[in-house]
Amino acid sequence: MFIDSHCHLDRLDLSAYEGDLGAALEAARVRGVRQFLAIAVTLEDVPGLAALSRIHQDVVISAGVHPLHDVAEEPSVDDIKECAEAHQAVAIGETGLDYHYDSVPRERQRERQRERFTRHLIAASDLELPVVIHTREAKDDTLALIREHTDPAVGGVLHCFTEDLDMAREAVRHGFYISLSGIVTFRNAGSLRELARRLPLDRLLIETDSPYLAPVPHRGKPNEPQWVVEVAECIARERGISVDEVAMQTTVNFHRLFRAAAPQVSDEMKASLAQAGLS
């Protein structure tokens, strides 16, 4: 059993499924994917994602604004909290810092991102919800704000992680999980595969970030949730363990972090986890 811990269901390319999201999700279910965390990029996305979660009981959602998304007016802490509570979000995000696309004036852009990130972290702390963090080329600032504004007992996840092992270990020490995407399968991602080997398995999550970053052997195609299996298979190969072990442990990890999502686990999944000694 697998969980896609980060996918953008409202942005999938559904041309292979004649526009039917249900068919894309069923293709994933056939491969053993049992739950999907649909990630918001803007607060305006959240009502639509909530509607999807009412149709598909195995879909849960987040609420937040991506660090690179332009908004007419920055959401306040209360705006974020009210949106998350109104739509039963299980996480805040995605939020974070991305300094890769710095523009002029650079420092003002970075400050705006830090301010937005801080508001999301405060909202997550107030609601005792985990935070989904996008971080790129912003190691020091990301870790500093995590230390200042998050409770290790609640934690969060550094999603689609591509930074170094030291950053991952520091985040783990502060109660965070590390999520690996299809990038781990790329030929030039040797350092990321080393990270997959060296981090504790009980701190890893798997994701697609679909429709982006399709894994090998699907690279170049629009990504989709069913290909989270390829991410798990890559991690299993690197660690020299079975894909079942990766699937089961990352499922347990997901529900330890996203506690509000756990009640939606089927009786079948609960029984399987208990049988494996992972519940």
Q: pLDDT by residue for the chain (279 residues), tens digit each?
A: 999 999 999 999 999 999 999 999 999 999 999 999 999 999 999 999 999 999 999 999 999 999 999 999 999 999 999 999 999 999 999 999 999 987 656 788 899 999 999 999 999 999 999 999 999 999 999 999 999 999 999 999 999 999 999 999 999 999 999 999 999 999 999 999 999 999 999 999 999 999 999 999 999 999 999 999 999 999 999 999 999 999 999 999 999 999 999 854 455 655 665 665 555
Tokens of 207: 């994701």
CATH architecture of 2-275: Alpha-Beta Barrel (3.20)
CA atoms within 13 A on the CB side of 96: 26
Cα 177 off chain centre by: 10
pLDDT at 108: 85
Residue spans of the domains in the chain: they are 2-275
Q: In sequence order, which residues have a C-beta less than 8 Å from that of residue 74 and are 6 or more positions away?
A: 112, 115, 116, 119
Rounded CA separation 173/276 (Å): 27
Question: Do residues 205 and 160 lie in contact, with contact meaning Cβ atoms separated by under 8 Å?
Answer: no
pLDDT at 272: 62
Rounded CA separation 193/232 (Å): 12
Q: What are phi and psi of 107, to 5 degrees?
A: -65, -35
